[in-house]
Amino acid sequence: MPIVLARLAFRALQRRALQSALFVFSIVAGVALVVGVDVAADSARRAFALTVSSLQGNATHEIVGGPNGVPSSFYRTVRVDLGVGAAAPVVQGTVRAGADGAALTLLGIDPFADLQVRQFLGESPVAEAPAAPVQALLRLLAEPNTVVTTENVAALLGIQPGDRFTLATARNRQSFTLVGIIRPRNDVSAQALANLVVADIATAQEFLGTPGYVTRIELVTSDEPTLTRIRAALPPGLALRLVESNRESLAQLSGSFTLNLQALSLLALVVGIFLVYNIMSFSVVQRRVHIGMLRALGATRRQIFATIVLEALVFGSAGTVLGVAAGYALGGGLVDAVTRTISDLYYRVEVQALTLTPLTVAKGVLTGLMASLGAALIPAYSATRITPASALRSADAERASRSRVDLAAAAGLVALVAGLLLTQVQARSLIFGFGALFLVLIGSILFTPAALLIAMRLLQPLTGRLFGPLGAMAPRAITRSLSRTGVAVAALALAVSVIVGVSVMITSFRDTVTVWLDGALTADIFISAPSSGLLETVNLDPSLADSLRAVPGVAEVLTARDVPILAPDYPDLPPVNLVAVSQDLAETSRRYMWQAVPRDEVWQALEGGGVIVTESFAYRRRISPETQTLTLLTDRGPRAFPVIGVYQHYGSDQGIVLMADTVYRSHFADPWVSSFALFLAPDAETAAVLAATRQLVADQGLSVQSTGELRAEVFAVFDRAFAITSVLRSLAALVAFIGILSALMAQQLDQRRMFGTMRALGLTAGQLWRLTLFETGLMGLAAGIFALPIGLLLAKMLIDVINARAFGWTFDFLVSAEALYQSLLIALAAALLAGIYPAWRVARLAPAEAIRND
Amino acid sequence: MTSGSRKIKPFLLFLFTALGVLSALAGVWAAQRAGDNVEAETVVSPPQLAAEGFARAVDPWAWEFPRDHGPHEAYETEWWYFTGNLSTDDGRRFGFQFTIFRRALSPALIDSSSEWQANQVYMAHFTVSDIESGAFFQAERFGRGAVGLAGAEVLPRLRVWVGDWSVQADDGAVSALTIRAVGEGFAIDLALTPLKSPSFHGENGLSRKGPETANASYYYSLTRLATTGTVTINEVDYSVAGSSWMDHEFGTSALSAGAVGWDWFGLHLDDGRDLMVGQIRRQDGSVEPQFGGLLVEADGATHNLPASAFSITPRDTWPSQKSGATYPAGWELVIDLEGGPLRLALEPLLANQEVLGSVIYWEGAVRVTGDATGMGYAELTGYAQPLRGLF
């Protein structure tokens, strides 16, 4: 391209500093969101991998069993009879330490076997003393109740080698001696190992508790014959699993959650692209005369096109680079929220280090450049259509844009129909679900200009009658510069509909959870070990039930056993969360999706050996009334249990399997329970019973909660999970607000001459000010009205398509009047706010200067 | 075009900035790649093992077999030591060492509800010298004396094992033994038949190792076991036959404070005699005068050899690249017997038969020439590290 064109382009940009800044900002915002969410998601995924590594080292396979674990004798079989050297037994559990009961992971290992799995437990190899690793760890074996821990834990507890300190479980409290320190070599390892305490397997087993069993046996082998021999030797109730699939399925736990965030960031990007398109079109319109002159001076269409595209690319790259950097920073903010939610809902992860992969950077760069380029293509094309002759006539552009309105509406209709069809084509894919959502959203938005045109034509007589000639003028002004107003209203409608859609989805969900909790929490007091995430078994002594029954005011005590159980038919999914209850808490209030027996016979059927499963569980495992069995690995091998119903439950998106306690105990030799539910006598005072119960279990570190407290905790977790969604929603709204601001400014500046003429004809500054605000107000109102149905459609799809596919649960679509007027209010406020500055500029316009063409 | 290049400058500036930012991001990525695995080291101060409370080898032992083939857990250390020279029908030679060491961490088992609690730990060393190819194979195993992972028992029949490595008697009377061990690329499966009854070292098996009364162990040998079976090298099985030697020794801190290591030779002479000579080297360059040797006649009759009755003269040295230690290699033995001196020359079948486990020593097959011919094993300890405290 001739250098002179580049210079002109730069000068043009220099003169429109604000627009340039907005362009860059839109790209920065869009790219930053995409990158930030990606960084958070990748960091979460890496956190899983590192957390697994910190516990499982470089194990390739593991042998796992039922609630008790794996009999120690099977380790002997593996080591001695099968001669598998690379096998290590592990006893693992969560313990608490320090005044505030910090949760630590206690890993019991055999020093002789463990270094092949967890090399970090060895010392750096010293040439003179190759035996050092084993001999050092030997101390754990030689001296009972000794542990090693990380620098982090030692600092947290203020202990040094040689010091004694106390660890506690729900059933036990014991003093240990610190004899060594695990020194991580880098920050990430430090985080992964942050909460690790390592002891000899005998020490850990004695403290955590199941004599005769270990938590798992880890293997480091890729030798298929060896694995086959192990499989052949497995007694019933044990299974050989790939650690990798374990890692994968753990990472998948939060996959849906992070995918939702990614979709939301894409939504923000769409808004950003709208914005860029808007700015570029305006920039072209503003330079009509320049471009016309250039054409007259001999610049080719190709050169004009290249100039505009280059301009977009230069600003796009600036925005992209800044956006990737900003995204990395944003990821730092998000990763904390994401890992917190993942720890709340799924699995305790220790790592919060940021992960920036080349893929993420590439995605960010590509997103930014494609968005800039894509948004500039149509304006660049329209620039090539400018001829020297037409350059002075603005109406041409408007006529052209009106024909495009019809085109957009037609495209919108196609996108809408395609989107709705897409939901039917593939009923389970989340990606397809989001694809459909985007098509429907974009389709609806493409309708906006046409709708605006019609609305303004209908409105014109009305405003004219109500507000006189100026009133009639506003709708006409909007329709006249439809190329800008249409895009501005569409962008605003898009942003507001996203806000409405997400809000309606969240409130619907929250209301459904409220109703569900009311039905589920029928007992008065709940006693459990402080939450340490899923897949972590807490062993409480069932005899505690008798002590609880003796507390004055307690009428009845129920127990629940919450354990992860292997389901051999679903090797790629995490273990099943089995809940065995001594009596059904929610018998009368439970909502069933389907049930095979009448409601009042469900408990009887459960006691007869059936199970009921939650909606998410059934969705993930495709359990339908036709495939009514679930196979679980019991102590005596796989057993098929009839599924007699699927019910609504929002406690975990992995779902649970509910079984009668008696049935559970007959299949699993498990003496422990996980929690207690207390019913009070009618005349009992909850506060008094709470106090007495707390005193009873004071030294066991158990949490005693009233129904209200438990409910508050559930909602605290719920709100934390959606906090990040809200943040992204606000960011999307901010992008949209800036979009409408820039569009309105563009439109108002575009009409300088007209306003100048009006001022010259005698309109006062105040009248012009009101006219401008009225105009933007109308646009805001229109955007708000259009956003409503789009937002509700979005909410409906978020609930029926996205949530159903991501989490496998359904909930009621509840629209509050609040959501409706909120939509109007936000759109109106955004438009009016954005209108103030342009209106002020218009009002201050000196007529003579405005009329003179620049 | 001067003004043009001036206008282009910001663009270049931007390009460089962009490259800078992107390479910084690449740096961030590279830095975190390094941390994709958990990397750490664990520093533990050495264990404070109980020194008191163990039984000590002070009085002569009242030997009773097969009971005494089994473990003596009241003593701190114990080992069952097998070495042997084997060959195929067509003369391919192999040497092997198979040893299981027992170490008590405390005199008594600590009371615990855990089946993993153990006060006995076991270590096993397994080597094969493939003379023809010059390869020396070695492996080391550990196991705790719990859950059946490692142990020693004599009832109902002798069995000493670490994982799937074991030596066990075929019957309660220990009239035959089987050794099985598999390492990386090598394995043995051998049947051993004792040809002579146990021979006792020192004072009826009370073998003194130093000046103090406590510096002693109980020590007997099955000096000649007819051996047949299979040696497997890199998945090729070789049917072999030959002779093996078993030492069984137990005691508590047998070495004196000044001891550095020992040189030990167990030789099968072709005339049917078996000869053990050894010396415990001290820091000052002298040898412990209390430790001697043993000659076992073809008929099983034994003669104790005091330290003054023989001399061991190294003829050469072998420097180890791996450990940095310099071992003697090749010896001249002169043993004063009633019928006159017996002069023997010992030659290692392989120079490198160094065991690089948690204890570093040289243990290898040797050929005997001179006044008598035969095969044997030499054990050289304390050249890479002092042994006191380990045994």
| Distance separating alpha carbons of residues A78 and B147, to the nearest angstrom | 12
- Condensed to tens digits (0 to 9), the pLDDT of residues B57-68 reads 999 999 999 999
State how far residue A191 is from chain B, nearest Cα, in angstroms: 9
Tell whether the model's pLDDT for residue B348 goes beyond 90. yes
Instruction: Name the most confidently modeled range: A525-539, B8-22, B134-148.
Output: B134-148
| Distance separating alpha carbons of residues A650 and B180, to the nearest angstrom | 58
**Domain assignment of residue B285, yes or no:** yes
Cβ neighbours for B312, distance < 8 A, ≥ 6 positions apart: B263, B265, B277, B279, B331, B332, B333
Tell whether the torsion through CA atoms of B236, B240, B243 and B244 is positive or negative.
Answer: positive
Task: Please give the structure tokens belonging to residue A743.
Answer: 């569009």
Q: Which residues of B3-38 are buried (b: 16+ CB within 10 A; e: fewer)?
A: eeeebeeeeeeeeeebeebbeebeeebeebeebebb
Q: Residues B139-166: what's their mean pLDDT?
A: 94
* pTM to 2 decimal places: 0.80
Chain B residues with CB-CB distance to A172 below 8 A: none
Tell if the CB–CB gap between B4 and A4 is shorter than 8 Å: yes
Q: Of the given ranges (A645-654, B233-242, B268-277), which has the lowest mean pLDDT?
A: A645-654
Q: How many A-B residue pairs are in contact by the CB < 8 A criterion? A: 205
- Please give the pLDDT value at position A232: 94
Which residue in chain A has the smallest CA separation from B385? A128
Q: Rg (Cα) of chain B, in Å, rounded?
A: 27
On whether any CB of chain A is under 8 Å from the CB of B142, the answer is: yes
Q: Give the C-alpha distances (Å, rounded to integers) separating A569 from A64, A252, A629, A653, B311.
A: 16, 18, 11, 19, 73
Residue A41 contacts residue A335 (beta carbons within 8 Å): no
| Distance separating alpha carbons of residues B391 and B388, to the nearest angstrom | 6
Q: Residue B237 in 3-state DSSP?
A: strand
- Please give the pLDDT value at position B39: 79
State how far residue B132 is from chain A, nearest Cα, in angstroms: 29
Tracing tokens 């089995």 back to the chain, one arrives at A578
Residue A341 contacts residue A257 (beta carbons within 8 Å): yes
Cβ neighbours for A135, distance < 8 A, ≥ 6 positions apart: B46, B47, B358
Element (H, E) at A4: helix A3-15
Please give, one letter per residue, the 3-state secondary structure of A254-302.
CHHHHHHHHHHHHHHHHHHHHHHHHHHHHHHHHCHHHHHHHHHCCCCHH
- Condensed to tens digits (0 to 9), the pLDDT of residues B26-57 reads 666 655 554 457 778 888 877 767 678 899 99
Q: Residue A776 in 3-state DSSP?
A: helix
- Please give the pLDDT value at position B135: 96
On whether any CB of chain A is under 8 Å from the CB of B22, the answer is: yes
- Please give the pLDDT value at position A129: 41
H helices then E strands: how many in chain B? 1, 26
Reported for A370-374, long-range contacts at CB under 8 A and 24+ positions apart, including other chains, are: A371/A27, A371/A30, A371/A31, A371/A269, A371/A272, A371/A273, A371/A276, A371/A316, A372/A23, A372/A27, A372/A276, A372/A312, A372/A313, A372/A315, A372/A316, A372/A317, A372/A319, A372/A320, A373/A309, A373/A312, A373/A313, A373/A316, A374/A273
User: Within 13 Å of residue B45, how many CA atoms lie on the same side as its CB?
Assistant: 10
On whether any CB of chain A is under 8 Å from the CB of B204, the answer is: no
Single out the residue of A681, A594, A686 nearest to residue A643, CA to CA. A594
- Please give the pLDDT value at position A217: 95
Tracing tokens 């209200």 back to the chain, one arrives at A708
- Which residues pair with residue B242 across a beta bridge? B86, B227
- Condensed to tens digits (0 to 9), the pLDDT of residues B182-215 reads 999 999 999 999 999 999 999 999 998 888 887 8
Residue A353 contacts residue A187 (beta carbons within 8 Å): yes
- Please give the pLDDT value at position B17: 64
Single out the residue of A525, A495, A563 nearest to residue A697, CA to CA. A525
- The shortest CB-CB distance from B7 to any of A10, A49, A75 is to A10
Residue A549 contacts residue A557 (beta carbons within 8 Å): yes
Q: How many residues does chain B have?
A: 391
Element (H, E) at A465: helix A430-480
φ/ψ of B121, rounded to 5, equals -120, 150
**Domain assignment of residue B389, yes or no:** no
Residue A146 contacts residue A139 (beta carbons within 8 Å): yes
Q: List the CATH number of the domain containing B77.
A: 2.40.370.10
The C-alpha torsion from A562 through A563 and A569 to A572, rounded to 10°, is 110
**Domain assignment of residue B283, yes or no:** yes
**Domain assignment of residue B234, yes or no:** yes
| Distance separating alpha carbons of residues A656 and A809, to the nearest angstrom | 12
> What DSSP character marks residue B203?
B
| Distance separating alpha carbons of residues B271 and B370, to the nearest angstrom | 13
Which residue in chain A has the smallest CA separation from B146? A76
Tell if the CB–CB gap between A144 and B41 is shorter than 8 Å: no
Residue A108 contacts residue A210 (beta carbons within 8 Å): no
Range of the domain at B368: 67-109+119-381
Q: How many residues does chain A have?
A: 854
Instruction: Please give the tally of structural domains in chain B.
Output: 1
Chain A residues with CB-CB distance to B37 below 8 A: 53, 58, 189
Chain A residues with CB-CB distance to B29 below 8 A: 356-358, 361
H helices then E strands: how many in chain A? 28, 21
pLDDT profile of chain A (854 residues), mean per 10: 65 68 82 85 77 80 90 94 91 85 88 82 50 64 89 90 89 89 83 87 90 93 92 92 74 69 74 74 76 84 86 87 89 79 70 76 86 84 78 57 79 91 82 88 88 88 80 82 79 84 86 86 85 67 91 92 89 86 83 88 92 91 85 92 91 86 93 91 90 86 86 82 73 70 69 77 82 86 90 90 84 83 83 80 72 55
User: Within 13 Å of residue A597, how many CA atoms lie on the same side as its CB?
Assistant: 14
State the best of B13, B23, B42 to mutate against chain A, taking most chain A CBs within 10 Å. Answer: B42
- Please give the pLDDT value at position A627: 74
- Please give the pLDDT value at position A287: 77
Single out the residue of B242, B143, B233 nearest to residue B183, CA to CA. B233
**Domain assignment of residue B355, yes or no:** yes
Residue B30's identity, in one-letter code, is: A
- Condensed to tens digits (0 to 9), the pLDDT of residues B304-321 reads 999 999 999 999 999 999
What is the residue-wise DSSP string for A203-266? HHHHHH--TTEESEEEE----HHHHHHHHHHPPTT-EEEEHHHHHHHHHHHTHHHHHHHHHHHH
Residue B126 contacts residue B100 (beta carbons within 8 Å): no
On whether any CB of chain A is under 8 Å from the CB of B179, the answer is: no
Q: Residue A769 in 3-state DSSP?
A: helix
Residue B127 contacts residue B355 (beta carbons within 8 Å): yes
Helix residue ranges per DSSP H, A576-706: 602-607, 615-620, 661-667, 686-696
| Strand boundaries in B45-169, DSSP class E | 77-87, 93-104, 120-130, 135-144, 150-153, 159-162, 165-169
Element (H, E) at B361: strand B360-370
| Distance separating alpha carbons of residues A170 and A176, to the nearest angstrom | 17
User: Within 13 Å of residue A229, how many CA atoms lie on the same side as its CB?
Assistant: 13
On whether any CB of chain A is under 8 Å from the CB of B321, the answer is: no
Tell if the CB–CB gap between A184 and B161 is shorter than 8 Å: no
On whether any CB of chain A is under 8 Å from the CB of B112, the answer is: yes
Q: Residue B54 in 3-state DSSP?
A: coil
- Please give the pLDDT value at position B145: 94
- The shortest CB-CB distance from B41 to any of A120, A192, A328 is to A120
Contact residues, B window 295-314, toward A, CB-based 8 Å cutoff: none
- C-beta neighbour count of A673 within 10 angstroms: 24
Tell me what ipTM this predicted complex has.
Answer: 0.87
